[in-house]
Amino acid sequence: MNRVALAFSGGLDTTVCVSLLKEKYGYDEVIGITVNVGQPKSEFEQAKETAEELSLDLIILDARFDFANLCLDAVRANATYQGYPLGTALARPIIANAILEEAKKSKCKALAHGCTGKGNDQLRFEAVWRGSGLEIAAPIRDLALTRSWEIQYAKENNLPIKSGNDGIWSIDTNLWSRSIEGGELEDPSTIPPGSIYEWTKPPSSESKLVTIEFAEGYPVAVDGTNHSPMELIEHLNILCGNFGVGRTDVMEDRILGLKVRENYEHPAATALLNAHSALEDLVLTKEERKFKTSIDDAWAEQAYLGLIYSPFVEALNSFISSTQKRVTGSVTLDLQGGHARAVSRESPYAVHSASAASFNTSDVIDDITQADAIGVAKYHGLQERMSSAIFEAKQHTDKNDK
């Protein structure tokens, strides 16, 4: 049987792909696979309804556990891309890997997606799929299809079209983030209407303190209550979203070089990243903090590219895990005005002594006294002083020679 596994959402692109994979590519059977990474229930209902109308076999896989764990790995790596927490980029490899494993079980000859040739997702899916030995089909990209052509094709072939949101916005939702793009938002000068937001309320002067506990870099509890990774993220999305935390409006540079305008909502991600960073500031040494910034940037870049399973990321994870052994403790955030600001932090591994750092005490560490700083002060800036003195002396000599 010439069978192909299609990453299926039930939207226009993947609906059209079902017919095109048979008509243009010659596959005998198409299996639709939808992967749950925290989308709204309505999306699964839409996928089921559309699959039924297409007489398409649909398999729904639950990958929320794996995705939630990856999101918390991203917290340990302080993973942001051009100023916002990674979300969609983290989900795609999880989805692609789940589809690949199911395709192998179903003895499929090929894998297919409905991505265009202009976006990032085609690369993220195929980074996981290529090397599997299975064929890859991408009808929308391969045939250079436009949305208007797809709509006309669907009408001519009596295909069910579920546009969603009246077709105004392109929205991608998962456990970690919600992205909104398209329509008027493509114009950078357009001010986003409040209607695009679902997870976050308008920022206000209302405030709330929330305490997040970490164990070796992983968030494990909120306000004294332990949660599983998925429960913790869902809880913070609601809690922080109620205070307007986690809205981002950015001009994003895509992998292929295109610059696009993106709007995001990510309340839990924002809070957790801020809290984790504050705790690292307390327990890591100066050189660890400095070097880890480059490691974190590299991790985030690889994640944005969809290369989260690469040997490079495995090596980065080794360094990150080493630093996280002491990132245990708690951070209290003040949720107000759309921000999640760290206002206190505690850890048994704090590289800090309040008494030694205070101007009002004479406490010492390791027999070091204030007077010991005199020698350091004499050497500090020595080369700079020497350089300036030599230059001035040379200038003076040259002037007198004239």
The pLDDT assigned to 164 comes to 47
Tell me if residue 321 is catalytic: no
Closest CA to 31 of 108, 140, 128, 141: 108
**Helices 64-76/286-304 angle, 10° precision:** 140
The pLDDT assigned to 359 comes to 52
The topology (CATH level 3) of 3-172 is Rossmann fold (3.40.50)
CB atoms within 10 A of CB 97: 18
Whole-angstrom Cα distance, residue 79 to residue 307?
Answer: 14
DSSP 216-229: TTEEEEETTEE--H
The pLDDT assigned to 169 comes to 77
Residue 30 in this model has a pLDDT that exceeds 50? yes
Tell me if residue 344 is catalytic: no
Whole-angstrom Cα distance, residue 279 to residue 329?
Answer: 7
Task: Tell me the pLDDT of the chain averaged across its residues.
Answer: 93
* Active-site hit among 106, 170, 277, 310: 170
Tell me if residue 28 is catalytic: no
The CA-based angle 235-239-241, given to 5 degrees, is 115
Q: What is the CATH architecture of 176-346? A: Alpha-Beta Complex (3.90)
Q: How much of the chain exceeds pLDDT 90, in percent? A: 82
pLDDT in tens, 358-391: 555 555 566 777 788 888 888 898 899 988 888 8
Tell me if residue 172 is catalytic: no
The pLDDT assigned to 364 comes to 58
* Active-site hit among 9, 13, 179, 296: 13
Whole-angstrom Cα distance, residue 61 to residue 99?
Answer: 8
The pLDDT assigned to 189 comes to 96
Q: How much of the chain exceeds pLDDT 70, in percent? A: 95
| Inter-residue long-range contacts of 232-239, CB under 8 Å, 24+ positions, other chains counted | 232/268, 233/68, 233/71, 233/175, 233/176, 233/268, 233/272, 234/175, 234/268, 235/268, 236/210, 236/267, 236/268, 236/271, 236/272, 237/199, 237/267, 237/268, 238/267, 239/208, 239/210, 239/267, 239/335
Task: Give the pLDDT mean for 95-121.
Answer: 96
Task: Give the pLDDT mean for 233-253.
Answer: 97
pLDDT in tens, 333-358: 999 999 999 999 999 999 986 555 55
The pLDDT assigned to 360 comes to 57
pLDDT range class, residue 395, cuts 50, 70, 90:
confident
* Strands 3-7 and 178-181, bridge-based pairing: unpaired
pLDDT in tens, 270-299: 999 999 999 999 999 999 999 999 999 999
* Active-site hit among 64, 76, 92, 326: 92
**Adjacency order of strands within the sheet including 135-137:** 57-62, 29-36, 3-7, 110-112, 135-137
Task: Give the pLDDT mean for 60-81.
Answer: 98
* Active-site hit among 9, 76, 121, 261: 121
Q: pTM of the full predicted structure?
A: 0.90
The CA-based angle 257-259-261, given to 5 degrees, is 150
CB crowding 363-375: b at 16 or more within 10 Å, else e: eeeeeeeeeeeee
The pLDDT assigned to 295 comes to 98
Closest CA to 277 of 74, 4, 67: 74
Task: Give the pLDDT mean for 85-107.
Answer: 97
Residue 401 in this model has a pLDDT that exceeds 80? no
pLDDT in tens, 149-194: 999 999 999 999 765 444 567 889 999 999 998 889 989 999 999 9
The pLDDT assigned to 361 comes to 58
Task: Give the pLDDT mean for 107-127.
Answer: 95
The pLDDT assigned to 165 comes to 45
